[in-house]
Structure 1
C-alpha cells in the first residue's frame, strides 16, 4: 500500500510547483482527496497528514464514512458522483458541496431535504463538455437556464461548474469550461469555482483556471471496485 502521507505531500508539492509556474497570478486551487472505495482508515491517514477536503462518488458510502468520522468535525465532504432522486436525502444531510447538479429536479430535492441547521449546500453544475452520450451533465447551451433555476432555490448556493472531459479531449474541454465559467460569472459573480482535473490531467486543468482538482489514485493508489 502506498504511504498516503507521502503521496499526499508529494501531490501538494506538485500542485504548488505547477501553480507557481502559471504565467498569470491565480488563486491557488483546492485539492480534493477522492476517497471512493477506500476504507475509513485511508481517510483518517490522509486527515492525520493534514488533508481536510474529501470527495465521494456514492451516496451510501459518503453517508457511512461521514457517520463513522463524525468526530472529525472539520472534514469538508464533497459529493462528485451522479445523483439519483432516491438518494438525494443522504447527500443533502451529509455533504458540504455537491459537484454534479445536472437536473433542476435533483437541485429541488436537495434544497427541500437540506437541514436548516447545516446551512446552505454549496453546489456546482456538471457540464457534459465532451457531449458524451453515456456521461452525466448538462449541455453547455443549457447552463444558464439550469443556473437560473438552481440559484433561486433556498438552502442552495450556486458556486460554479464541474466537468469530466472525455479521454484524450482534456485541453479543448478545459478551454471550453474556462469560457463557460466566465459566462456564468457575468450573471452570478459568486459562482467562480471550476472543478476539473484528475490524477492524469490536473496540470492542464490548472492552466485553464481550475479552482478544485480531484485526486484519488495519486493519493490513495488504485481503487478496489470489488467493494462496489
Structure 2
C-alpha cells in the first residue's frame, strides 16, 4: 500500500532536518542558527500550504512567474518568508520585489538599481551572488567586482545587504568551493559588518556548506519529492 503523501512529506522534512542538525553538531554549530529554505520549484502552491502546516516558514522559488503565481493563489501569508533564488532580469525586478522578502541573487549594479527603483515602503533583504567558476556566463558577480557591488548596494536605502550566496561548481569538491565563499563573505563584511548571512548548500552538499559557515540552506527535492513534469 502506498504511503500517504502528507505522511511522506513530513517524513522527508524530518529526515532532512535531522541530517542538518547532525551536520551542524559535527561542525560545532547550533542547528537553531541555520535557516532551512524549502525550494518548491515546479510544485503546485498547495504543496506550500502543506509545508506551512508542517511548520515550514521559509520557501524558495527560482522563477519570477512561478513566485508571482503562487503568491497570488495562496494570498497574503504572514507565516511565510519567500526567498527568490534564481537569476533576476532587470525588467522583472519589480515583480520579484513585489513577491519576495529576500533576493539571493543580486549580482550586478544595474540589478541593484532596478530593485531599488521598484521599492514600495519596505526594505528588501538581498544577498550578493558570487560566481565561483571561471565561466562568466554563470550567474554571480566575479570575486574581483564583489567589493564594489557590496559598496553600491549598501548605499541604496531600500536594500539591506545581508551577505553572500553561491552554488558549488560542478567538478569541484564542495568543501573547497564553500571555503572560498567564506572568504568572499569576509570581503562583504569589510564593507557591511552585519552582512553575516551565507546562503550555500543544497541537498547534495549542505553538510560541507554548514562546515564552512553557511547560515541558509536551499533544499528542494529531498524534501518536496520529485518535481512534477513541466512544460
TM-score range, shorter chain: over 0.9
Offset, 1:190: 1.2
Q: Give the unaligned 5+ runs of structure 2.
A: none
Q: Normalising by structure 2, what TM-score?
A: 0.92
Correspondence for 2:99 among 63, 77, 94:
94
In the superposition, the TM-score normalised over structure 1's length comes to 0.93
Q: Are the equivalent residues in 2 in contact too, given 1:55–1:80 (CA < 8 A)?
A: yes
Which residue is equivalent to 1:203? 207
Instruction: Provide the residue aligned with 1:220 in structure 2.
Output: 224
133-142 or 53-62: which moved more? 133-142
- Alignment coverage as a number of residue pairs: 225
How far residue 178 of structure 1 moved from its aligned partner, in angstroms, is 0.7
Q: Is the partner of 1:93 in helix, strand or coil?
A: helix
Shift of 1:225: 5.1
Q: C-alpha distance in 2, partners of 1:47/1:212? A: 18
- Taking the aligned partners of 1:33 and 1:24, their CA distance within structure 2 comes to 21
Superposed CA offset, 1:55-108 (max 9, x none): 000011101111222242221000000011221111111110000011111111
Among 6, 13, 17, the residue aligned to 1:12: 17
Deviation >6 Å, runs of 4+ = none
Tell me the residue number matched to 1:165: 168
Q: 1:53 and 1:26, CA in 2 relative to 1: closer, same or farther beyond 3 A?
A: closer
What are the equivalent positions in structure 2 for 1:1-228 lying under 5 Å apart? 3-23=8-28, 28-116=33-121, 119-169=122-172, 170-224=174-228, 226-227=230-231
User: Tell me, what secondary structure is at the counterpart of 1:226?
Assistant: coil
Task: Go from structure 1 to structure 2 and tell me whether the alpha carbon gap of 1:74 and 1:175 turns closer, same or farther (over 3 Å shift).
Answer: same
Which ranges in structure 1 are unaligned for 5 or more consecutive residues?
Answer: none
Q: Following TM superposition, by how much is the alpha carbon of 1:165 offset from its aligned partner in structure 2, in angstroms?
A: 1.6
Contact persistence 1:34–1:214 (CA under 8 A): yes
